[in-house]
Each structure stands twice: as C-alpha cells, then as structure tokens.
Structure 1
Amino acid sequence: MMTGPGTNSYLVGDRALTVIDPGPVDHEHTQALLHAAEKIGRPIEQILVTHTHRDHSPGARELAEASGARLLGPDVPDDGLQDETWAPERRLRHGERVDCGGTELEVIATPGHVGNHLCYLMVDQNLLFTGDHLIQGSTVVIAPPSGSMAAYMDSLALLRDYRIDLMAPGHGDVIDDPMATVDKTLAHRRDRERKVVEALDSDPITVQELVTRVYEDVPAFLHGVACLSLEAHLIKLRDEGRVSHTSGKWAV
C-alpha cells in the first residue's frame, strides 16, 4: 500500500549500466531489469540503492547473482525495519562520485526518511534520483528511531545548494518542478508542526489520541502510519525544548 504504483528502478550508463534501487524480492521484476539491459545492449555492472527499506534493496541479491554486478550504497541501520540481506562491497559517503559507465553520479546524504538515505545526482544532466526523500504526488513517512524529522527538513533544505532540473523518485512519475516541490514539502512539514503545537495543551496526551487532531485531513485508516510521522514531529519539538514527554504522553 505504501509504495503507490510500486518501486521505480532506474538503469543508468553509457558503456555499462548501473541499476538504482532494484526493488523488493520479485523474480518478475528482476527479469524485467535483465531483459531491459539485454535490449539496451549493455551489461549491468553496478547496483546502487538509495536506502535499505524492504521495497528498495532486497532485489539486489538476485540481480547481482544473475548479472555479476557489484553492490554500492549505505550501511544498514539496526532498527528492525531494514533489509538485513544488503551487504555493499563499497559503502558510499556524501560528496563521493560514482562512475556509471560514462556518466557520473554524485552522492548526496539525505537522512530523514531513514538515517542511511542517499540521493544520487547525475551531474551532466542535473537529474536527481531521490529514492524516498521526495516522491511524486505524496509525502513520505518519517518513522523513528532511524527516521528523523529534524534531519529530514535539513536534508530538504540542502537540495537548494544543487542545480537540479528533474527528479526521478522511488515512487511515482518524474518531478519536473524540483525546487517548487522542495519548498512545498518544507512548507507542508512546517504547517504540520504548527498544528502539532496548537493541538497540544498542558494535559498530557498520547500520540494515538493526538493523531486525530493533527491529521484530521487524513483518512482514519491511515492514522496508524501517520502516528509514525507525528512521533517524529514530537521528537523534534522535544529536542528543541518546545514540548515535554513523560510516561508516553506529550504536552506543551
């Protein structure tokens, strides 16, 4: 349900191919990537992932075994929510550049959705592969402990330092108004944060009680997921000294 139309995989490169986000364990999807490479007429030499949630990286193992490609990307956070099969041969860091068969990708560390999230900028095309940092048509879930609302908002602002003409997200269609999308997403998070503060009072309240006040514009069947991002907002506000947290309840 949370992947919308599914997880996007991208094949990048001139002389050889790099696959970005091979997706979940899905034999049909893996075969589709292999057939695409065969049709293009270039070998798959590398597999990169933006992060290690289970809809993005588990397909890497089967694809690597079939193609002989090497794995590059982040470490795996120890929070019980990640793909524990992910084991990169090369761990990528912010600012590195990766040769992808004739085109380069610059690594941009964008923690927030999860602590190990990376975006990849195709420098000669000003095209950013965003994973789940930004997706088309929706906002992403920020789930503590590996997800951080403070880090997410900082990582959104960081993108303003780069020339980006297009964004290729992990879910949905290409985003052709990238900076407007960054600004809209930041404004949305700030507005949600304002609603959190306004909904709290001196009487402590649980996240489950608070979500109906703060996410009244979201269908009730999604409130369980909304609680994750709500908790991330509350943790940010607590760390800033703006709200208090005692015995599982929150107050101003």
Structure 2
Amino acid sequence: MAKTLMQFLGVCAALSVTAWCAYAGEVVPQVVIEGKVYQDVRWGPVNQGNVVIFHNRGIKVVPLDKLPAEYQAMLGAPSSSSSPSPSPSASTPAPASVPLPPAAPSEPQGITAMPPLRSSDRDADWEAYNRDRKTKVVLGNKLVSRSSLTSLVGFLGSPARFSDGETLVRGFVLELASRKAGDNGAAAQFSLRPNLWERTGKKVILRDYKPPLEPGGVVHVFAKRVNSADDYDIYEVATEPSYEQWKQLRFTNVNLP
C-alpha cells in the first residue's frame, strides 16, 4: 500500500515538473493577476494547484485559478467545465422586469396648459417689441422708459478704476460732447461721426460699461447717476433689450423716479 502511494505521488510530481518545464523558458511581457500587473513573467513549477512566477520585482506563488483563463489551460488547471454546475434551484433567478414609472405631467395638475402661440400672436409680439425698443431700455433688470434716464453723448475715453466704498469698480471715462453748430442736418446713421461733435470739457464715468467701439469714438447712452468719486459723476448705463428680455420684463415695467 505504501509503495503504491509513493508511486502515485511520484507521477503527480513528474506531471507538475513536466508542465513547468514546457513553459519555463517562456517570458510573458505582462500578466494581470487579481488586478495587479506583473511584467517579464516566467513560469515556475506547478504544485498542488499553485504556480510559482518569477517577475521583474521578485517571486510570487499564485493559485492557478487566479490566472487568466489562457494561462490556466496552459499550465494544466482544471477546466471550468469539469466543475459541478449549480442545480437549477440554486441558480440566481433572472431579475424581474420593473415597469417604468409614468411620465411626469408636463404641466402642474389643475393648471390648464397654454396653447401654442399662433403666428398672428407672434407677429403682434414682434411689432410690440420693435415699438418698445425705440422708447425703452433695460436697467437693473427692469424695463424702463428712456425719458426717465439721462441721455449722454461723448467721446469714449480710457478705462477707469475707482473705489466705491470697499469695492473696486471698473468703467470707462466719457468726455461729454455737444453737436457742432451747423451740422444738425446729418442723417441719423451718421449722427455719431466724431467730426460732428466737440468736447464740452466735462467728464463722467460709466460704471461696468462694455463699449461697442474703441476709445476715441462717439457713443450715445441712456444712464442713471448712482454716485460720484474724485469730482466725477458715476452713471450706470442701460442696455437695449433683447427679444427674450423684453418678453420677460414687459409686464414689470417700472419707471425710475
């Protein structure tokens, strides 16, 4: 009995050494085992379900079932087909399909949705917008009448920085100008040509102003005086409303005092 057991163990050892010898000289550039990357891998002997690997950082004993499938087969690991398959009762049941929740209503319940805007309504809106943009501007997120603001025309000067309390404010100097005598008949599209204006000697600051042209050109703005600093009056400049702004602000029109 003892002799037979020793013969069996000898055969197993011989098979292990045979599997190792077949691939002992092969160098694999890279093998990923349990998420770790091993480089310059050479295979060592296989024994009792483990294999010795030599890599660029040392030696490691790895269970065969932790190797990638192609190396398991190469080194003689038992194939997965030989393992007992789970009984049908132990298999994981397929997840039941879950119905999607109903889509949320596009409008709050109890409120009637507004019908699509008809083309005639859109045309009326555009007409009202084009009419209002000639007399109204946006200031402080409100649609206000131009007549409630100060009309300023002048030569755009250099950028300015000044302190408004503890806050550093940026803007532009505006050198106020008046129309030259004898040039009042110029067409509207040429009314801001620099040669039609002359400086009055007074300067103001346009706070947070984003000029549409380079310094030296003539601009016309509607603004509200908000402060003064260093003998300069400081103005906040209104802007022409876009169509979207006009739609949002048209019913909150509040003229400034």
**TM class by smaller structure:** under 0.3
Q: Between Structure 1 and Structure 2, whose CA radius of gyration is higher?
A: 2
Q: TM-score, normalised by structure 1?
A: 0.16
Greater percentage in helix: 1
Q: TM-score, normalised by structure 2?
A: 0.16
Greater percentage in strand: 2
